[in-house]
Structure 1
Amino acid sequence: MRTVDADGLVLAPGFIDMHAHSDLALLREPEHPAKVTQGVTCEVLGQDGLSYAPVDDTTLPALRRQIAGWNGDPDDLDWDWRTVGGYLDRLDRTGPAVNACYLVPHGSLRMLAMGWENRAPSAAELDRMRELLAQGLVEGAVGMSSGLTYTPGMYAGTAELVELCRVVAGFGGFHAPHQRSYGAGALEGYAEMVEIARRSGCPLHLTHATMNFGVNEDRAGDLLALLDRALDDGVDLTLDSYPYLPGSTTLAALLPSWATEGGPQATLARLGDPVARERIRYEVEEKGSDGCHGVVTDWSTIQLSGVRAPELADAVGRTVAELAAEQGRSGTELFLDLLLRDELATTILQHVGHEANVRAIMRHRVHTVGSDGLLVGARPHPRAWGTFPRYLARYVRESGVLTLEEAVARMTGRPAARLRLHRRGRIAPGFHADLVLFDPERVQDAATFEQPRRPAVGVEHVYVNGVAVVEQGRTTGARPGRALRRTGRGAEAI
């Protein structure tokens, strides 16, 4: 037995990241310092409708290229799984530092059933998606994610999502959508997600719930009123958010949806076609691309955070507007050429958030915490290394937006309840020892936009399944985490 001097420290259940992009990071850097140094003991993977299971030999290479900006595309990784169960088995064999849950990604299902076609599925194709989804849930997934501004998930209609969510509901899972718009159509997008939950009976978890862009300044109240009405009507819903203003995604995500039909190779071909480029220019500059949430793109808000091509490294940290002005070109022309040269792998920060909205959403009664942090690129968003201590420092200790108890509940018991984790999320006899000890007076995020990989301070001890992964503020290298799977239809995760 070991004794830890915890004088002056707060003991809490381990923090749960409800929106993580560590799908490959847990395999390649399983010690996972980005998250354990924040006190995170469990992450939810398979987000935004796009991840690496289920796949086949055709969809896996395309997915690797499409989301290289999220996760990298390592050639030295043994891609030895094809199913959800196979991926979770691989996690267990690797032995990551943290526990992980997995959502079946809707876009990956659609690729397997019908490729990248922009149409409704046939009855047989919808049945195929149902079958693949049910298989993933049987193998241990906790629900389904969808990415409705990303190819091919954006081509799904409401009816398709309702049918798939009925399958999820039958297994006791939940739907975690990246909805159709966080800009001009944000409220309509949220209303559609609530309607899907009503019609399917499937619990809803709104990931990275935000109201961004100028059109939504000071409109968080409208979103929260919509959610309160749904909750009062008995809809089972929760949400998560990160405590920063800028968002983060791939540069290719700003393209209009028609330009991405057919997958990455077809997209690259259009980027080299003068007629298609002019059509893209019109939608991005004048109409408002659906890829940019129906808002005309302001290139001064789009900052490059990572590239794959070495010759583009000097562009990281700069805005598209700055780079275009230097070269005497339009922002859109530079945007299109960057995508071609970097083969769609460029990642960006979008400086489009509003502090009042961020604060209002985090106060809501069903709020949980999700980092949405990308771990690749030269200068990724600092939320990957700083989300949880930032809540405790900026929004508890410094501004009092949340009490300490409220913040901890949003990071622990509330997400554990949504995930239906068995004997986790609380400190109680018989519960798994996922624990964090932090100094409430010192805890602080250190990651910045200039130095995004600096570990937090004030998180002194972290335990995963009873094993120390952080001691006296330093990582131990221990890897006691595992995949947390459903144990059967409607059953709790272990």
Structure 2
Amino acid sequence: MAAPTPDLLFRGATVVDGTGAGRFRADVAVTGATIEEVAAPGEGPRTARQVLDADGLVLAPGFIDMHAHSDLRLLIEPEHPSRVTQGVTCEVLGQDGLSYAPVDDTTLPALRRQIAGWNGNPGDGSGFDWDWRTIGEYLDRIDRGAGVNACYLVPHGSVRMLAMGWDNRPPTPAELDRMRGLLAQGLREGAVGMSSGLTYSPGMYADTAELVALCEVVAEYGGYHAPHQRSYGAGALEGYAEMVEIARRSGCPLHLTHATMNFGVNEGRAGELLALVDAALAGGVDLTLDSYPYLPGSTTLSALLPSWATEGGPDATLARLTSAADRERIREDVEERGSDGCHGVVTDWATIQLSGVQDQRLAPLVGRTVAEIAAERGRTGTEVFFELLREDSLATTILQHVGHEENVRAIMRHPAHTVGSDGLLTGARPHPRAWGTFARYLAHYSRELGVLSLEETITRMTGRPARRLGLVRRGLVRPGYHADLVLLDPDTVRDTATFEHPRSPAAGIPYVYVNGTAVVHDGTPTGALPGRALRRTHRGTEAAA
């Protein structure tokens, strides 16, 4: 009996298969959502319902964004052009310890306000339906149709909020049991692990023992811990060391998200971080990391506040900003000591550039630094800081120009490295990493600078993150694997997103497929929604398709 005709045939492609092995030419056939055959040119199927001449193009597994902030954008704009045009076919949500599941009717409104700067906050008149409360229900919502696949991390801060509110104290035994139970429920419902945000309230109030107790649950379910650790300033190495210690004590795999060594105090110190990583690996810790290929970082302006000023939630924070005594105490922290997340680093307002505002009356300030605004108003930088926090209800987003090129390159060379955009999609001028991360790795750091080979770059985007996520039959170009595929031109692929024009799609990526369906065809998004939530089972593997 003749073999059935494949749906799709890539003829004469140069395959970079995601393992790190050398490239090879092949004909690759796809039937339905599955790669059917990878054969030497002319030795596979002769025809298909659709044949693409892939001569001169690289066929790779779809890219996996290990650190994404599309928790709402994937629902509001499910076609997801920022990701599909880069070749991303899966992203990991629920990052930095704060997201929208699990929640209840009390914590959801608070979270919507707190992370509006990350994700926006569609209101009652927008037509957006906040119709979930559990992680399983949120993943079901993604399953209604999305341009990419998505994995989800249980956000520690959201769980802590459910169990004990915004209190700055250790949990009682009963509260810790509640957190462990909520975490286990989320993992049973399909989450791939737990994230923590240890410079964001209320997650920042957790001590090491609390995190160890929670990571023991994550380990039991086969997941991993993805921390936004306690300090990216003078205490960065100590913060990373604590995360390694939590992994050792709990037996939980560790993934260091947006692994950076920023600010002047850390210039040239990437080698110290990597020595810590190597020692942990040699000691048996299961450890990976991700980074984005840019120097500036991005977060909310309110993230510069010291932890004590955020205790109690957004309303309590705004109330403190009306108190002269509290403002003076905050000023001393940011101007003289450096607040928690940037411990030991005094804030330089010339490095803080506004990227987005919620109140459009403030829109003319986007693109300007706090120092520039202060000079125009005849105010100090800290006074403008207070004014913006109040006027924009804590929702302002910023770029922080604090990175070092030698650190960025050293970290991306490490064999435990994967790629995460950390891309925010809100604001008038968001960080271009949301639209450009993957193409920038391929163009600037691989083709132009030779920091990584094409094969090394692609394995960091595909096979290695798929293993960390526990995905079944994804991340490689192999028969029987899911047809999440990217066809790119290695000579012309490049990022076009800039800090002035950040919402610009990548060039040189003409075809992208998610579960065998084209989401980009001839360089244009198709609007197809074949993506779904990729759930892990309680045994730590992705559920069957």
Superposition TM-score tier, normalisation by shorter sequence? over 0.9
> What SS does the corresponding residue of 2:89 show, helix, strand or coil?
strand
Number of matched residues?
493
Corresponding residue number in structure 2 for 1:6: 54
**What does the per-residue CA deviation read over 1:354-410, in whole Å, with 9 as the maximum and x for residues that have no partner?**
000000000001000000000010000000000000000000110000000000000
Question: Over residues 241-271 of structure 1, what are the superposed CA-to-partner deviations in whole Å (9 max), with x where a residue is unaligned?
Answer: 0000000000000000000000000000001
Counterpart of 1:53? 101
Aligned-pair distance for 1:292?
A: 3.1
What's the counterpart of residue 4 of structure 2? none
Q: After TM superposition, list the pairs within 5 Å mapping 1:315-394 onto structure 2.
A: 315-394=365-444
Per-residue CA deviation, residues 435-479 of structure 1 (Å, 9 max, x unaligned), is 000000000000000000011100110000000000111101101
- 1:82 maps to 133
Contact kept, 8 Å, 1:171 with 1:491, in 2: the verdict is no
Give the match for residue 317 of structure 2.
267
Q: Deviations over 1:196-250 (max 9, x none)?
A: 0000000000000000000000000000001001101110000000000000000
CA contact (8 A) 1:253 1:292 kept: no
Mean CA deviation greater in 483-492 or 278-287: 483-492
Give the drift of 1:50: 0.1
SS at match of 1:459: coil
Give the 5 Å matches for 1:150-161. Answer: 150-161=200-211
Shift of 1:490: 2.7
Q: CA offset at residue 288 of structure 1?
A: 1.1
Residue 149 (structure 1) aligned to one of 199, 211, 215: 199
Query: 1:451 is matched with which residue?
Result: 501
Tell me the residue number matched to 2:489.
Answer: 439
Within the candidate set 261, 265, 288, 1:211 is matched to: 261
Quote how far apart the aligned CAs of 1:491 are: 3.1
Residue number in structure 1 paired with 2:84: 36
Distance 1:134 1:293 in 2: 33
| Structure 1 partner of 2:155 | 105
- Per-residue deviation, 1:493: 4.4
Question: 1:72 maps to which residue?
Answer: 120
Q: Distance in 1 between matches of 2:186 and 2:455?
A: 35
Superposed, 1:270-285 pairs within 5 Å as 270-285=320-335
Q: Distance in 2 between matches of 1:293 and 1:209?
A: 17
The root-mean-square deviation of aligned C-alpha atoms, in Å, is 0.7
Question: Do 1:382 and 1:452's aligned partners in 2 also have CA atoms closer than 8 Å?
Answer: yes
Partners of 1:203 and 1:237 within 8 A in 2: yes
| Map of 2:64 onto structure 1 | 16
Flag the structure with larger Rg. Answer: 2
Q: Where does residue 91 of structure 1 map in the other structure?
A: 142
| AA of the residue aligned to 1:10 | V
Question: Gapped runs of 5+ residues in structure 1?
Answer: none
Which of the numbers 246, 249, 252 marks the counterpart of 2:299? 249
Any idea what SS the aligned residue of 1:239 has? Answer: strand
CA distance in 1, matches of 2:343, 2:291: 18
Once the two structures are superposed, the pairs formed by residues 129-208 of structure 1 within 5 Å of their partners are 129-208=179-258
Q: Deviations over 1:170-205 (max 9, x none)?
A: 000000000001111000000000000000000000
Q: Partners of 1:222 and 1:490 in 2: how far apart?
A: 32
Q: 2:227 & 2:454 partners in 1: Cα distance?
A: 29
* Counterpart for residue 416 of structure 1: 466
Letter in 2 for 1:39: G
C-alpha contact (below 8 Å) 1:38/1:388 kept by paired residues: yes
> Which structure 1 residue ranges, 4+ long, deviate > 6 Å from structure 2?
none
1:127 is matched with 177
The CA distance in 1 between the partners of 2:540 and 2:340, in whole Å, is 36
Given the two structures, how large is their TM-score scaled by the length of structure 1? 0.99
Contact preservation (8 Å) 2:233, 2:341: no
* Conservation of the 8 A alpha-carbon contact between 1:138 and 1:489: no
In structure 2, C-alpha distance between the alignment counterparts of 1:119 and 1:481, rounded to whole Å: 41
Mapped contact 2:232–2:341 kept (Cα < 8 A): no
Q: Partner of 2:30 in structure 1? A: none
Query: How far did 1:326 drift?
Result: 0.5
Q: Secondary structure at the match of 1:162?
A: helix
SS of aligned partner of 1:56 = coil
Q: Percent identity?
A: 79
Match of 1:398 in 2: 448
Deviation at 1:423, TM superposition (A): 0.4
> Helix, strand or coil: the match of 2:226?
strand
Q: Which whole-Å CA distance do the structure 2 matches of 1:30 and 1:133 have between them?
A: 27
Q: Is the 8 A contact 2:222 2:538 kept in 1?
A: no
Contact residue 181 and residue 294 of structure 1 kept, 8 A: no
TM-score (norm 2): 0.90
